[in-house]
Structures are given as structure tokens and as C-alpha cells.
Amino acid sequence: MTSPVPADNTFLTYTLRTDPDPLTSSRDGSPSLGTLLVSVGAIASAPAWCESITIALPLGTGDRQLAANDAAALNRIETAVQGGGTPGGWTASARTSGGKRLITFTPYNPVRFDGTFTPTLVMSRIQINKTQGTPPIEITEKTSVVSQNYTPKTTTQFAQKFPPGFRFSNLHPDAIVVKNGERVRLSWFAQNADCTVFYNNTSERVGTATEWISPPLTTHTGFMVQARSTNITGTSTLLHTLTTTVLVALADLDTGHLDTRGTTTTHGPLNVLGETDLFREQTFNLKDLPQGNGSTTTGNYLLQAPTDGILCLQFSNGTINLQVDTTGNFMTLGQHAAPNEVTTFTKAMKRGTMRFLVPRTATGWMQWYALGSGRLDIQPEPRT
């Protein structure tokens, strides 16, 4: 179990782990031994000097105590420091006072925690009492921002004691990466545990099962399997969780605002729902336009634009006129191209109706880039 870090009133940060994870309570004739591991760190921007750290193990037979007040068993507790970070190492001393076993770790000389190392204080062969629960583990540091005038500061972490025989570990998927739309099988080891799988804002209770097959996955998915156990008296429920993540190759993406700084390429149909700033292109060959009404030399068309956009013309051999409706009056935008030259004409257009007058001799292309949803519609102008 990993407990929250850091505390607001201490200079140092603490992470509490247990072995086994979680601890299990003893039963008559079958003592259960456990280990507490307290990792100590500091924030690099706020270094602190440390004179000592004391771990208080609550003693008694209840759910809020860790170990029985048995002198012989308490004297068998072993201590060690891993990754001490100070010349001369650390020493440990223990005493019993006020219903607690106080284990004090002291560096050979006061040590400056600056975020470059994280020692772990180890207390092993602790004989866990017979009652399941969540005992508080008090941690008291004697620290200072300078190498003198050390004062005590205390924070509390919590351990868990599950019923005898409880086991829950080794959660793993059968693949860490799956194809889009594939399922994954989760497996774990569980004993005397009632399990529930959580994923994607939903959950499924699987009871005593030790494996579960997911629905088809389309996005990277985090899974949490939670094991539930009730203490022997039935008065409280203990929860223990394991997590894992499965990645999806070519995963679906559902996001809010998206900014790109390079080329965006689609390899399939592009569906646009609602207004969008994404360019959508349509290309028309002037020779493939429907037979427009008008005269023998000019075809007249109506362009219906459902959104703002950009109209691009590239043509030769004739004069093309685009007439834009401005409050009931048509404004003519004309462009001429000689038979042996190519003229390009680009105009930003508002949504609405435009008259498009094309000489029947003209050849070339027209492209429409929509700045929203919908497609440009071209129809022959009705006869009047």
C-alpha cells in the first residue's frame, strides 16, 4: 500500500509501503509477520536538515492498533536503512511508551535532504495483531531549515490489516498493446477476495474470479481491480486496489480544442458535425457542368454556398463573370483569359447565392474550399 505524501506540517515527504501488501492479521497459533517500509524524501526547492525520524507503531488488540503489546515479539522487530545518503550511516533504537512502540532512526550526523536521495526506513518481523482494520502510523521528524534548532513535526500514514488468508496481487493484461477494436484479458491472483473491475467510468463485479475479458477497446484504457474484504466481526470493509493500463494501436481520439502545428492527413472519410474551421475542398471541371441556361455563348448558373468559403478559378479562353448578391443587387466580378493563356481567379465569398456566368468556350477548373459544413451546390439558373 502506498500512502499519500507529503504532510502539510513536515519539511520532509513520506511514502509508506508494506510487505506483504496488504498486511494480514494473525490468528491463534499462526502469527502473521509484516514489514513497514517508509521512504523519506524532500523537495529540491525546499531542502531541510534532519536530526532524527521516529516511527510510532500503535500497540493493542483492536483494529486501530498494529501489533500486540508483547515485549518478546516487539524485541524481535528488526530495523534497517536502505539508501541512507549520509556518511557513517544510520542507527535505530526502540522503546515502548504510551501504548506505542517508538522506533527512532538517527543519522550518524544530521543529514541535509535536498531531493537527491531517498532513504527507506525498514521495520521487519512485526507480529500483526488478530484484528483487521486500518491502524495509523505516526511519523515524527526533528528537522530544521538550518543545521541547528531542530523541532519535532508529526504526520500520520495508514496501514491496512486484512483477514488471515487474504491475498491479492499480480494484476496483468495478456497484452500491453492491442489493435483498435480488440479485447484484452486481465488476470490476477486473489484469495478470500471479492473483486470489481473499474474502467472508462464503468464497473463490473466479478466476485472471486481471477480473470476478466474486456469489451472491444478503441482508446488507451486504464483498469483498476478492487478487492473487497470484510473483517471477521463484519463491522468494517477493507478495500485494496491494483491498476494497469492497456494501449490501443491507432486509438480513437475524442478531444476538445485541437491545435496542430504541421500537416494533418486523413486516410478515410471526414465527417464534420456542426460548424468547423476545417477546409473542405470540391473541384469542378468547367466542361462537366450541367447544361446551363443563358445564351448560345454563355451558360448561366446559380451557386448556393451553405457556408463561407474561398472560390478558386483556373481557366482559359473566355471571360467568366461572378455576380454576388448584395442586398438585392448583383455585383459583377469579371475575369478574362485569352485562348492561349491561363488565368487564376481567387475570391473569398460569404455564404449565400451567387450567379456564375461561364462562356461555353471556357476550359479549366473551379475549386471551392468551405470554411464550415455543407457542400457547394451548382444548378442551372431558372429561365425567366
Given CA atoms 38, 39, 45, 48 in this order, what sign does their dihedral have? positive
Length of the chain: 384
Question: Which run of H or of E encompasses 332?
Answer: strand 329-337
* Number of other CB atoms surrounding residue 120 within 10 Å: 16
Q: Which residues contact 164 (CB under 8 A, 6 or more apart)?
A: 24, 25, 26, 27, 30, 32
d(CA 243, CA 199): 10
Question: Which run of H or of E encompasses 72?
Answer: helix 71-75
Q: How far is CA 289 from CA 324, 337, 351, in A?
A: 19, 19, 21
Span 167-249: which CATH code?
A: 2.60.40.10
d(CA 106, CA 123): 14
d(CA 100, CA 298): 101
Grid cell listed for 359: 462562356
Domains 13-162 and 280-380 share a fold: no
Question: If 0-12 CB within 10 Å is exposed, 13-18 middle and 19+ buried, where does residue 102 land?
Answer: middle
* Number of other CB atoms surrounding residue 300 within 10 Å: 18
d(CA 260, CA 25): 56
Three-state SS at 384: coil
| pTM score of the predicted model | 0.65
Q: What single letter denotes the amino acid at residue 84? A: G
Sequence spans of domains, the chain: 13-162, 167-249, 280-380
Contact assessment for residue 134 and residue 238, using Cβ atoms and an 8 Å cutoff: yes
Per-residue pLDDT of the chain (384 residues; tens, 9 = 90+): 444 344 568 999 999 999 999 999 999 999 999 999 999 998 878 899 999 999 999 999 999 999 999 999 999 999 999 987 776 789 999 999 999 999 999 999 999 999 888 999 999 999 999 999 999 999 999 999 998 999 999 999 999 999 998 999 999 999 999 999 999 999 999 999 999 999 999 999 999 999 999 999 999 999 999 999 876 666 668 899 999 999 999 999 888 877 777 776 767 665 656 555 555 678 888 888 877 666 777 888 888 888 888 888 888 877 777 776 555 444 566 666 677 788 887 777 788 888 888 887 888 888 888 877 778 888 888 876
Contact assessment for residue 199 and residue 215, using Cβ atoms and an 8 Å cutoff: no
d(CA 367, CA 346): 9
Radius of gyration for the alpha carbons in the chain, expressed in angstroms and rounded: 37
Architecture of domain 13-162: Sandwich (2.60)
Given CA atoms 193, 199, 201, 203 in this order, what sign does their dihedral have? negative
Architecture of domain 280-380: Sandwich (2.60)
d(CA 141, CA 110): 12
Grid cell listed for 162: 486484512
d(CA 9, CA 6): 9
